Structure 1
């Protein structure tokens, strides 16, 4: 239930962000000293330099009933009334202002708990920079690399180089051609879950272990589908991905969850007026979504050779409760990581992408692992304070980096159950820093603050990828690596031996590639196309996304209502050709499972 919160008279109150932060810390310490007082933490964090003008104010450790006399005031917009309710997931209190804050102003929050403890803190509202929505937030090519540059994702308009497939039965689909080689495609590790972009059609893609398409979903209007995965939510598995527009290596869109019939059952949108970015959409065991966001704001860039009133591309993490769509947590790189620690070079004419968040993971201790591509670093973040717990890599690493354990321009940094860090080391971005890209496993010694390379996974022949990439340890000990904008994926033994590889043809790319089991039954029907010949007819059968087809039954007859079986053939990939001597006027196909049960029947098509 939402209640109206009266605002206190804050006329004459002037609390700077630093003083507010000190006040907040003192009150938190005082509260922790009292046995009955709750721990205080707030969002936006005290001292935040670029909160959204549409930000809500959260108290994650407090119930709404514990707050009293809450007053919110903008230095320019004045007193803000609003609604006080429960945060997503039934935890914490959220104050939603009834009007937006003014760009560049300082917001002061003051009030008291019903226990008598008084609270006060302040933060600053961003001065956003307007960008066309369908262009996302354009990062400068000079600080993001050739592929992550301002040109963004421009899909091919024709297939002059022969890089896509075509089918007779579903002629509107053009997934990429995939070439595979090696000794062991490891079918026990599941299908290949990925995407295709910079092609004549862009969208999420599922391949079988032989590289044959199972499902392809071309997205409309120049959109792309990135970060395709199979994830669990409330004990059910879903196919998830980000969908939207891409430019400058970042995205503007929303996250999507599909069921086993490819129906959209949930969409996840960013909070506080932002748009979800492509780099991460991870579902936590608590049923929340961890997503990334990019926001261009005005900032002082003199520490990196820019102007006092420059434009910064901030990297943001949000945790969203999937069921309610409400915000649970938000963290900005700007204000927590110093701009001067970036390897992104000098600012140019476009927003300065100093951090470039490339992955986020919720850890078992509740903290978050955040990868800053342009920082050459991975950070553990405490969500209660927003502070960095430790940093691996970069200019001020907490750990002494052992031989071969350095990485740069990285993607997909994840902590494994034993505490190792796996990461895709691009080795190229604003400039080339290594001769080839590779997957890595790094072991952290927390007590000695040392980081050692355990294993690396480089492709043979070598490839160097300026953007994208992934690494996935598999249940059988193998490792699956996606090499990003050089569209190669490869599988390795746990000792680093390459045993199998596949690739798209240029210019098609993928963001990440994973192995996962997936079964699905589309809601529609199979498709058929008939091609007459001098010896009879060949009928082509397909059913985009169906995973349980064992064989096809061919029906023929003089009219669509008078069809009978004339032939059958075992399933042979996305499209199966079935030949018959029949020259009947109409044909249809039935998809059968391994028990011979009919899964679906196509419409009748003329010969």
Structure 2
């Protein structure tokens, strides 16, 4: 395959007239290719200010013969300077990637000629090539700029309060305000509100912790992925980390092509592909676009990347290629030095494989063609294409837009510019042919809750909706009729960016039996049973105690108790009913430290009965 990369250095940078002539020339001759055969190209033809570390992606409308492609010669050459740009080719089913050995130089104009690739696929009539330019400015995202991007959403936060002796001293205080038959599952939260004690939490509906880990930096988007891993974003390391069910670090994820990874989204797909968001800062002369604009304004674009199973970038979408800075919401200051004009905060893979994104600073939800990168539709904001039915409010600064199984769109409307301010979860049915959005459901708390940033809304398998009110300090599980099944309250000024509900069970240490059935036991007597605890770790595990709610069940084993590597130990559980009736409880077997909790559970049940002739029956048994 002949793939020629030609590089023209920009010589004329000082003369406005010459720059305009060069720009016009570049656009007149920058691309010609068979757009039916070649369905997707990245960087986008004619695009400017691309990352020097970018790869080149070319996708086609047919499966590729990998052997034929690799049997062709690959020629990469610069233009006027005549130097060779070396790199490597990776062939996917319908995509080829060119990954340069070294970054392109800032300010370069790149031409990619792939005419022989076209001929290999049967296109003998076209010259296939395109051009793009590389940004002259690099390494723009200083800590100050990053703080500017996230300050309005995340804030500066506060430290956490301490709690009682049974939990680590820095454990965040959470209370259950309402409990009325909530959906099964466990709550996943990434707690922050300051830099002193951020943490990851998995809670039962009762508030009981199954997992707690104090983290060194603020951690966001803590959730269970479809493959069973737990992932979260580490703000100090600027990447996502993955833990297995033993809470062992197994992988990390971050953007390719030189982009800084954004905090808002990580999707792990069933084919082992990955979706991430990234930041794309560019210096733009805003004085040419708005009165009072800065000549050297830093405009923050967003990128979406799909990485394959080997973490190669196989799809990249840049907001600045498709959505104008002038489409920013009215409340975005376009005369500022740093302009966070789009602030994309969620990505959802639609049923048809295309992408649905939420962009906070556009007040917009957008559908993107995954095959071409082009916009399919725009809902809300200046670019809105829909008419609204059964709706009296616009939505503002929204988060967490998701396609539901019923085909509707659900998201969290922060409602910054509602009068008066209120937040809500809202669901729309979209007629995507006639561009009509009909509101079919919403939930507003009574009285209203309001959070100006963050938040989430997730439809659960039983039809309930889990709403994270974030800065308002509450998490609510609500039924379709508006009644509350569960409400959790944070006791201090801290919060979680999103909240999820999933089934969860650790494998770090596990009981041989998940249920202890004591059967019938006479009142005022007792029965003891043992449960074996298996370690699945190569490290020693120290069990620190067993916690439960019912006085009928207790433990006679002394703690702490050490389990050797992949070893076993046993715990003696006693059932001692003092009245008749059926009793049950969950025994929480814990391994605690000053900064963590790991919890495994055993369900215990028994029946208290009356004794007719206690002198003749031996009622104490040990197993």
- Is TM-score (shorter-chain normalized) higher than 0.5? yes
Q: List per-residue Cα deviations over 1:39-67 (Å, max 9, x = no partner).
A: 34211111222321100111133667547
Distance of aligned partners of 1:359 and 1:63 in 2 relative to their CA distance in 1, 3 Å threshold = farther
Distance of aligned partners of 1:497 and 1:405 in 2 relative to their CA distance in 1, 3 Å threshold = farther
CA–CA separation in structure 1 for the residues paired with 2:484 and 2:559? 48
Distance of aligned partners of 1:242 and 1:565 in 2 relative to their CA distance in 1, 3 Å threshold = closer
CA–CA separation in structure 2 for the residues paired with 1:574 and 1:109? 61
Gaps of 5+ in 1: 33-37, 246-251, 530-539, 544-549, 578-589, 597-607
Query: Does 2:232 align with 1:241?
Result: yes
Q: Is the 8 A contact 1:552 1:591 kept in 2?
A: no
TM-score between the two structures when normalised by the length of structure 1: 0.77
Return the offset for 1:19: 3.5
Q: RMSD across aligned C-alpha pairs, in angstroms?
A: 3.7
Return the offset for 1:263: 1.3
CA–CA separation in structure 1 for the residues paired with 2:407 and 2:145? 35
CA–CA separation in structure 2 for the residues paired with 1:494 and 1:282? 27
Q: Which residues of 2 match residues 242-261 of structure 1 at below 5 A? A: 242-245=233-236, 253-261=238-246
CA–CA separation in structure 2 for the residues paired with 1:560 and 1:312? 55
Distance of aligned partners of 1:209 and 1:108 in 2 relative to their CA distance in 1, 3 Å threshold = same
Return the offset for 1:500: 2.3
Distance of aligned partners of 1:526 and 1:192 in 2 relative to their CA distance in 1, 3 Å threshold = same
CA–CA separation in structure 1 for the residues paired with 2:380 and 2:500? 25
Q: Which residues of 2 match residues 77-476 of structure 1 at below 5 A? A: 79-86=83-90, 92-114=95-117, 115=119, 116=124, 117-128=126-137, 130=139, 137-139=146-148, 147-148=152-153, 154=156, 156-157=158-159, 159=160, 163-168=161-166, 171=168, 174-188=170-184, 190-199=185-194, 200-220=196-216, 223-233=217-227, 237-245=228-236, 253-302=238-287, 303-305=289-291, 306-321=293-308, 323-343=309-329, 344-347=331-334, 349-402=336-389, 403-404=391-392, 406-428=394-416, 435-476=421-462
Task: Give the number of the structure whose alpha-carbon radius of gyration is greater.
Answer: 2
CA–CA separation in structure 2 for the residues paired with 1:370 and 1:80? 39
Q: Is the 8 A contact 2:4 2:112 kept in 1?
A: no
Return the offset for 1:595: 8.6
Distance of aligned partners of 1:39 and 1:110 in 2 relative to their CA distance in 1, 3 Å threshold = closer
Distance of aligned partners of 1:196 and 1:299 in 2 relative to their CA distance in 1, 3 Å threshold = same
Post-superposition, which runs of at least 4 consecutive aligned residues in structure 1 deviate over 6 A? 3-6, 8-15, 563-567, 574-577
Q: List per-residue Cα deviations over 1:92-129 (Å, max 9, x = no partner).
A: 21111222223333322123234244311112223445
In the alignment, what sits opposite 1:516? 502
401-410 or 439-448, larger mean C-alpha shift? 401-410
CA–CA separation in structure 2 for the residues paired with 1:181 and 1:515? 18
In the alignment, what sits opposite 1:604? none
Q: List per-residue Cα deviations over 1:207-237 (Å, max 9, x = no partner).
A: 11012222122222xx22211121213xxx2
CA–CA separation in structure 2 for the residues paired with 1:242 and 1:193? 14
Q: Is the 8 A contact 2:10 2:107 kept in 1?
A: no
Return the offset for 1:9: 9.2
In structure 1, the residue corresponding to 2:321 is in which secondary structure? Answer: coil
Q: Is the 8 A contact 2:177 2:488 kept in 1?
A: yes
TM-score between the two structures when normalised by the length of structure 2: 0.75
CA–CA separation in structure 2 for the residues paired with 1:74 and 1:437? 55
